[in-house]
Amino acid sequence: MSKYIKSGLPIAGLIIVLGFGSVTAQDRQAGALQERIRRNIHTLRLLQMTQALDLSENQTAAIFPVMNRLEKDKADLQRQAAEAVRELRALIREGKAKEEALPAAADKVTALRREILAKDAELEAFLEGQLTPVQRAKYVLFSIDFYQGLGQGLRRARGPLR
């Protein structure tokens, strides 16, 4: 595991705990809490990425707004996709009565998934023009390590399976 992930896991844990610990009455809805946690993870990723790639101030100023916009767009698409999946599941449970609506509902889920992938591709293309070859290579490794480290941290936080 890389040094930026090792040092970041305690921070990630703290951010996630703070996300759970500072829940107000308004945040009790699952969607609001999920959104706060997603934003915290995104912020942690940006901070660690700056360090791991040794971004200059100019690069940071150019990259962060684009990454934030794309992350918000992607989160919106993911919410839409989750709703579309719920609708598709409901149609399937209803059986023959709703069978004619299945193709359109399935197409909607597929289209939203493609839009999410397009946002990822847009970010990759943007970063390609902003990063040096060494930074691009570091970014590839950083992305892999960050999400693996995050997954490991969440598994440890959950504790052993029963």
Look up the pTM and report it: 0.70
Residue 97's pLDDT is 67
Give the range of the structural domain holding residue 55, as residue numbers without chain letter. 3-158
- The answer for residues whose C-beta is within 8 angstroms of residue 31's C-beta and 6 or more apart is 79
Backbone phi, psi, residue 132, to 5° = -75, 165
Instruction: Please provide the average confidence, as pLDDT, over all residues in the chain.
Output: 83
Residue 20's pLDDT is 47
- DSSP class of residue 23 equals -
Q: Which of 112, 63, 70 is closest to 88 using CA atoms?
A: 112
Tens digits of per-residue pLDDT, 17-72? 445 444 445 545 777 888 888 889 999 999 999 999 999 999 999 999 999 999 99
Number of domains in the chain: 1
What is the four-CA torsion angle of 49, 55, 57, 58, rounded to 10 degrees? -110
